[in-house]
Amino acid sequence: MKKGYFGDFGGQFIPELLMPPLIELEEAMRTILPSEAFRTRFDQMLRENVGRPSIITHCPHLSRDLGLDLWLKREDLNHSGAHKINNTLGQGLLAKMMGKQVLLAETGAGMHGVATAVAAAMLDMKCVVYMGATDVVRQAPNVGRMRLMGAEVIPVESGTRTLKDAINAALRRWIADQENTHYCFGTAAGPHPFPTLVREFQQVISKEARQQFLDRNGRLPDVVVACVGGGSNAIGMFHHFVPDQSVRIVGVEAAGTGEPGCHNSAPLNLGSDGVLHGMLTKLLQTKDGQILPSHSVAAGLDYPGVGPEHAHLQAIGRVDYTTINDAQALNAFQVLSRREGIIPALESSHAVAYAIEHKDELQGKSVLICLSGRGDKDLGILDQIL
Amino acid sequence: MNPMQIKIDEARARGKMGLIPFLPAGFPDRERFWKELEQLDAAGAAVIEIGMPFSDPVADGPVVERASLKCLDDGVNLAWIFEGLKARKGRFRAALLLMGYLNPVYQYGLDTFAADCEAGGVSGLIVADMPYEESGFVKDALKPHGVSLVPLVGLNTTRERMALYADGAEGFCYFVSVLGTTGQRDALPARIKEKLAEAREVFDIPIALGFGIRRPEQVAPFAGLMDAAVFGSALIGHIEAGGTSAEFMAPWE
C-alpha cells in the first residue's frame, strides 16, 4: 500500500510548499509520540484536564420505548463539551514538544476552534482560528469563547464562507507560517499524516468504551453507532471495534433536509471519488470536479468531504454508512433530552436518531452510541422547533 | 525537447527573459479571454499559462481566487477550454501550459485530458496540489501525448527533494518566490538567491520565477539565476483596472 493510504483513499495532495511541515510532523509522530515524556504528560492531561475516562451511560427509558438496550459513550462530558479536545490536547502537546509556538486551526461550528483555544491556553501557546464568515455569525457564542480564551478568530470571506473555505484559508496561512506554527487539523481527514494522527488521539474513545461495555455487560455490544462529518469521533469510536467481527458498526451521515437533490453532508452515501484538502476520498462535487456546498442542521457535520479511512471502511464493507435527515436529528435531540435528561449536540443527535428510526431491525439488540458532544451550543435551534 | 523549453531558450538566446503570463480561462470574460491570449502571444510570451478554475484553490491568493470563481460562475470548464484551444490550434507562437488543481482533471479523466491537451496544442501541466509523491499516475497518463508535468519547488524545498523533481523533468522548473500564495508583493525575500542557485545546479532545464512578480526591476537582482518570469495576479489586476495585456507586457519586452 502507498504511504498514507487506507486502501485506495488518502494520500498527500497538497502543494510542495507544505511537504516540509508534513514531513516534519510525520517525523515528530515517530519520535515524540511514543516517548515517555509525551505519554506521561498526555495521560496526565487526559485525566486531570479533560476528565477521562468518560463514562458509559445506560438509557433505561429509551431502551424500553424502542425495545432495545441503549448505551451512550459520554464524550459530551469532556472538558469543553465534546470529543474534540482529545485531539487538540494531543496535537497541542506534540506541537509544543516540536518547538512550535502557534496553534493554527479551522473551525466550522466552533467546537474544534474552542478545543484548540483551550489547548493553546493550557500549553501557553498562541492560537489562530480561521472560521467562515457565515459560521462566525451563526455560531457567535463559540466565537466569544475562543476570544475569551485568547484565540485570534479570523473570519473567512472567500468561497462559500463556511468550513471548507476556513480549511483553505488555514492551509494558506500554514504555507506562510510553517516555521513556528503547527496546523492543528480538526478531524481525521486532510493530507497524510493527519488522518492517522487524529485517529491516534481519538481511538481512546473505543479503547475505553469497549472495555467499559465488557466490564458492565460481560459481552460486546451488538451495534456501535457514531455520526460522521469529517469523521473524527466516528473513527475514534470504531477503531477498537473494527477487529470484532460480531459487532456491527454504523456511521451516520447528515442528509440535510432529505429532499432529493438537496444540499447535504453525506459524501459516503451520495458523493464520488475525488481530491480535496490533501486527500483522495468521497466528495460532494459536480461532474466537472467543482466542490459543492454542503448542508446540515448540525454545523459540525457540514462538510463536503470525509476522512479517507471511512471511505476505505465503506469500500471493504466493514462499516455501514447511512443517513439521517435534519428533522429526524431534531426529533432525537428532543427525545433524548426528554426521556433521559441528556441534551445531545445536533451532530450526535444524528447517531441517536439512527437507533430511533431503525428500532424495528434493532429489536433486542444492545446498541452503543458515541455521544460526541453536548447540546448547549444548539439551544438557539429551540426557537425553530418548539 | 518540450516546446516550453524551446521557447524559453529562444528568448534567452535573444538576451531576453522568457515571459510566462498567467490568465484564468474565461477571464475577464469568455469572449475577451481569447483576445487577451492573442495579445500576450503577439507581445512575445514564451509560454502562456492558462488557469483551470477550481472552487477551492489553496495555493492562490485573493486576486486569482476571485477571478477564477467568477470564471466558474460563467460556466467555464475543461470542455470549454479544450474546445477553444482546438479551434485555435497552431495560431499561438507561444507554448501553452495548463495550470490548476487535481480534482477537475481527475474527474475529466486523465487519459482524455492528456489526449485533449495534445489535440489542443498544450505542452505542459502544473498541478498546484500534487507533490512528487502523488504525481506518478499523472505523469504516466501525460507522457504518451507529449505533455510534461512542470515541477514546482520553493524556498523550503531541500536539495534532495529538488533532485526528485529534476529526474526526468521537462519544459521548465517553476520556482515559487515566497512561502505563500500567488499575488503581488513589493519585495521578494532575499534568500531567493541562494535557493535559485541551488535549483540551477540541480535542474538541467530552464528555471522560471513566479508568485508576487509585477515589474522587471523585481527580478533584475536574480538575472543570472533564472530564465523566465511568471506573472498572474499583477496581470489580472491590470486588466481588471481597464488595461490590456499588450500594455502590461510592454515594459517586459
Report residue B62 CA to chain centroid gap.
17
Q: Do A13 and B157 touch (CB under 8 A)?
A: no
| Together in a domain, A135 and A260 | no
Report the pLDDT averaged over residues B159-163. Answer: 98
B26, B148 Cβ separation under 8 angstroms: no
| Together in a domain, A277 and A370 | yes
Whether the CB of B152 is below 8 Å from some CB of chain A: the reply is yes
Q: What's the domain range around A148?
A: 5-46+84-199
Q: Do B58 and A172 touch (CB under 8 A)?
A: yes
For the sheet with B152-154, list strands across it.
B148-149, B122-127, B95-100, B47-51, B18-24, B228-231, B207-210, B173-176, B152-154
| Together in a domain, A215 and A254 | yes
- Of A199, A232, A262, the one marking the end of a domain is A199
| Together in a domain, A298 and A319 | yes
**Confidence at residue A1, expressed as pLDDT on a 0 to 100 scale:** 59
A193, A22 Cβ separation under 8 angstroms: yes
Facing B58 at nearest CB: one of A11, A171, A176: A171
| Together in a domain, A162 and A302 | no
Residues of B within 8 A of A176 (CB-CB) are 178-181
- Inform me whether the pLDDT recorded for A128 exceeds 90: yes
Q: Do B59 and A15 touch (CB under 8 A)?
A: yes
| Together in a domain, A279 and A224 | yes
**Confidence at residue A380, expressed as pLDDT on a 0 to 100 scale:** 84
- Of A132, A167, A199, the one marking the end of a domain is A199
Residues of B within 8 A of A290 (CB-CB) are 54-55, 72, 103-104
Residues of A with a catalytic annotation lie at 59, 83
| Higher local confidence (pLDDT), B72 or B214 | B72
Calculate how close chain B gets to A38, using CA atoms only, in Å: 28
Q: Do B65 and A276 touch (CB under 8 A)?
A: no
Residues 6+ apart with CB under 8 A from A182: A25, A91, A92, A94, A95, A98, A100, A102, A103, A104
Q: Do B107 and A288 touch (CB under 8 A)?
A: yes
**Confidence at residue B186, expressed as pLDDT on a 0 to 100 scale:** 74
Report the pLDDT averaged over residues B20-43. Answer: 97
Domain count, chain A: 2
Facing B134 at nearest CB: one of A11, A17, A168: A11
Whether the CB of B112 is below 8 Å from some CB of chain A: the reply is no
pLDDT digits (tens, 9 = 90+) for A224-237: 999 999 999 999 99
β B148-149/B122-127 pair status: parallel
CATH T-level fold of B3-252 = TIM Barrel (3.20.20)
A374, A230 Cβ separation under 8 angstroms: no
Calculate how close chain A gets to B100, using CA atoms only, in Å: 11
Band (A331; pLDDT cuts 50, 70, 90): very high
Residue of A110, A355, A113, A353 lying closest to A254 (CA atoms): A353
H or E element: which one contains A77? none
The three three-digit cell numbers of residue A12, written as one number: 498527500
| Together in a domain, A253 and A312 | yes
Facing A290 at nearest CB: one of B72, B156, B165: B72
- Inform me whether the pLDDT recorded for A386 exceeds 70: no
Closest Cα in chain A to B158 = A20
- Of A184, A199, A214, the one marking the end of a domain is A199
Report the pLDDT averaged over residues A300-307. Answer: 95
Q: How many CB pairs under 8 A join A and B?
A: 107
C-alpha–C-alpha distance, residues A194 and A18, integer Å: 13
Q: Which residues pair with residue A373 across a beta bridge?
A: A82
| Together in a domain, A186 and A56 | no
B146: helix, coil or strand?
A: coil
| Higher local confidence (pLDDT), A1 or A230 | A230
Interface of B with A in 33-72 (CB under 8 A): 54-59, 61-62, 65-66, 69, 72
pLDDT digits (tens, 9 = 90+) for A20-59: 999 999 999 999 999 999 999 999 999 999 999 999 999 9
**Confidence at residue B183, expressed as pLDDT on a 0 to 100 scale:** 80
**Confidence at residue A168, expressed as pLDDT on a 0 to 100 scale:** 95
Residues of B within 8 A of A288 (CB-CB) are 77-78, 104, 107-108
C-alpha–C-alpha distance, residues B225 and A8, integer Å: 41
Calculate how close chain B gets to A44, using CA atoms only, in Å: 36
C-alpha–C-alpha distance, residues A290 and A82, integer Å: 32
**Confidence at residue A2, expressed as pLDDT on a 0 to 100 scale:** 80
**Confidence at residue A287, expressed as pLDDT on a 0 to 100 scale:** 97
C-alpha–C-alpha distance, residues B24 and B27, integer Å: 6
Whether the CB of B92 is below 8 Å from some CB of chain A: the reply is no
Prediction pTM value: 0.97
| Together in a domain, A286 and A321 | yes
pLDDT digits (tens, 9 = 90+) for B46-64: 999 999 999 999 999 889 9
B108 exposure class (CB count in 10 Å sphere: 0-12, 13-18, 19+): buried
| Together in a domain, A149 and A164 | yes
Closest Cα in chain A to B165 = A16
CA angle, corner B7, sides to B6 and B12, nearest 5?
A: 95
**Confidence at residue A126, expressed as pLDDT on a 0 to 100 scale:** 98
CB A57: neighbour CB atoms within 10 A? 16
Closest Cα in chain A to B102 = A275
Tell me the percentage of chain A whose pLDDT exceeds 70.
Answer: 99
B47, B20 Cβ separation under 8 angstroms: yes
Tell me the percentage of chain A whose pLDDT exceeds 90.
Answer: 90
| Together in a domain, A104 and A149 | yes
Residue of B233, A355, A204, A360 lying closest to A212 (CA atoms): A204
| Higher local confidence (pLDDT), B33 or A261 | B33
A288, B77 Cβ separation under 8 angstroms: yes
Q: Do B107 and A277 touch (CB under 8 A)?
A: no
Report the pLDDT averaged over residues B68-87. Answer: 97
pLDDT digits (tens, 9 = 90+) for A51-94: 999 999 999 999 999 999 999 999 999 999 999 999 999 999 99
Mean pLDDT taken over chain B:
95
Report the pLDDT averaged over residues A278-293. Answer: 97
Residue of A191, A237, A224, A222 lying closest to A82 (CA atoms): A237
Q: Which single residue is written with the C-alpha cell 446540515?
A: A296
Interface residue ranges in chain A relative to chain B, Cβ cutoff 8 Å: 3, 11-17, 19-20, 158-159, 164-165, 168, 171-172, 175-176, 178, 274-278, 283, 285, 287-291
| Together in a domain, A153 and A39 | yes
Q: Do B55 and A277 touch (CB under 8 A)?
A: no
